[in-house]
Structure 1
Amino acid sequence: MTDASLDLTITRYIAAPPETVYKVWRERTEEWFAPKPWTAKLLEQDLRPGGRSALTMTGPDGVETPPMEGVVLEVIPNRKIVTTDAFSAGWVPQGPFMTAITTFEPEGEGTRYTATARHWTEEAMKQHEEMGFTTGWGQVADQLAALCEAVDA
């Protein structure tokens, strides 16, 4: 049983079918993943269980973050992607912060996009909130929606 009190979630209706949202999520990550004016650089995104997920972000001051590294746990094409930072590639344990659960559910003519950050501890969840989870993840969801809706227009 999961403890939903340790989850932070963003949801958006995107006026494009799940197949479009999933494709843009996968193929155009660098365009939507970082809240502007930040940018994202994808190092690797191997979307299969056990695959490496790694990227960096660069701030408006030009300073690059250390790589955000994890592994893919589950992929259901056009419906769900689950990753965690509890491991790096090759199942090497590292200090866990969260598991990210992203779903693409059909809703009317479009998609209900939901991104959940599931944390191990209340401290990690509160830290993520203080880092600007709601604003940051909300902005990237809006950026993803804009790309998807432009593709599907």
Structure 2
Amino acid sequence: MPITAVEKDLDALTMTVVADFPVPVRRLWDAYADPRQLEKFWGPEGWPATFTRHDMAVGGRSQYVMTGPDGETPGGYWEFLAVDEGRSFEVRDGFARPDGSPDPDLPATRMVYTFEETGTGARVTTTSYFGSLTELEQLLSMGMEEGLRSAMSQIDAVVADLTSFAADRRAESQVLSDTQVRISRVVRGTVEQVWDAHHDADLMRRWMLGPDGWTMPVCEPATAVGDSYRNEWEQENGEGRFGFTGEVLEWDPPRREVTTERMIGMEGPAAVNEMTLTPVDGGTLLTVVVTYPDAETRDSVLATGMVDGMEASYARLEAVALTPA
């Protein structure tokens, strides 16, 4: 059991949980920075979490649901108030309605996570700040302390896994819901390098090609909210031309952007792509959450080999467009 201390201060309206792990600080930090890892322990045992957004930067936001043993799906969110990479982060932690908006009927807390080295590895100290004694008592009665203890008990297995989230793994997809898919890969480059490679036309033409044998004759990137982009590809023999166009909905360089995506010449609703870049050990965790109009569209797109094509492009990105992080 990694928890070494739990202290409740009713006068200061705080609860502090201290947990120690036999791993470097960076490994423990990355477990919180990577949504694939975080959802393996965030929540009590038997209530796995699914993160549809995890934007670990000041002003960023995380959105998740937990699935209970009887199919319950309570939601929650984090609003990032401060981030000192590798050392600490501070969030407003609250309950969410089914549409993702904050639930005004339940209290939110301010939580500060501090990471430090110890003689045997790393320690994370979680301090929760409550708005009133009533809120503290309400959340404790709802099982907040037991939930944190249960969540912490699951971190050991996550941080001991040194292969599932390493920088040498291929791009992988994970179905998040009936309409959403998350594609993840660690790219060996800095956040700034990976961002530039997605928005500089000359760089994009060098790597964003999918399988060998394709060229990118049209590359018109967007650089602000409301801008439109257009990308077209064709085989080297001039056949098989296709492309996508869309609009920027949200823009927060060099960390995050949200765009629509529609295949040129196709009717119907557009997909929505949310790209998030997060610094981790070995480079930058590139996460793309794609929201499709329906499950049928989701499955038909995945069946085209989209993720394999993205992996070919990311491997080329590391080889020809980036320098080591």
Given candidates 129, 132, 135, the residue that maps to 1:124 is 135
Query: Is residue 32 of structure 2 the alignment partner of residue 25 of structure 1?
Result: yes
The structure that is helix-richer by fraction is 1
Match of 1:78 in 2: 86
Does the C-alpha gap of structure 1 residues 69 and 93 become closer, same or farther in structure 2, counting only changes over 3 Å? closer
Given candidates 27, 41, 61, the residue that maps to 2:50 is 41
Structure 2 unmatched runs, 5+: 1-9, 164-325
Pairwise CA distance, 1:99:
0.7
TM-score, normalised via structure 2 length: 0.41
Compare CA radii of gyration and give the structure with the larger one: 2
Q: Is the 8 A contact 1:37 1:60 kept in 2?
A: yes
Query: Which stretch shows the higher mean deviation, 15-24 or 102-111?
Result: 102-111
CA separation in 2, counterparts of 1:64 and 1:100?
22
Q: Read off the aligned partner of 1:137 and give its amino acid letter.
A: L
CA separation in 2, counterparts of 1:97 and 1:45?
18
Pairwise CA distance, 1:146:
2.9
Three-state SS of the structure 2 residue aligned to 1:134 is helix
1:29-65 CA deviation, whole Å, 9 max, x = no partner? 1101011111101021111110012111111101111
Q: Read off the aligned partner of 2:139 and give its amino acid letter.
A: H
CA separation in 2, counterparts of 1:79 and 1:5?
24
CA separation in 2, counterparts of 1:51 and 1:4?
31
Query: How many residue pairs are counted as aligned between the two chains?
Result: 145
CA RMSD, Structure 1 to Structure 2 (Å): 2.4
Q: Read off the aligned partner of 1:20 and give its amino acid letter.
A: R
Does the C-alpha gap of structure 1 residues 93 and 55 become closer, same or farther in structure 2, counting only changes over 3 Å? closer
Runs (4+) of structure 1 exceeding 6 A deviation are: none
Higher relative contact order (CA 8 A, sep 6+): 1
CA separation in 2, counterparts of 1:17 and 1:94?
36
Match of 1:112 in 2: 123
Structure 1 unmatched runs, 5+: none
Query: Is residue 152 of structure 2 the alignment partner of residue 141 of structure 1?
Result: yes
Given candidates 19, 27, 51, the residue that maps to 1:12 is 19
Three-state SS of the structure 1 residue aligned to 2:69 is coil
Identity of aligned residues (%): 26
Q: Is the 8 A contact 1:31 1:40 kept in 2?
A: yes
Q: Read off the aligned partner of 1:6 and give its amino acid letter.
A: L
CA separation in 2, counterparts of 1:124 and 1:12?
24
Matches within 5 A, 1:82-93: 82-85=90-93
Pairwise CA distance, 1:129:
1.1
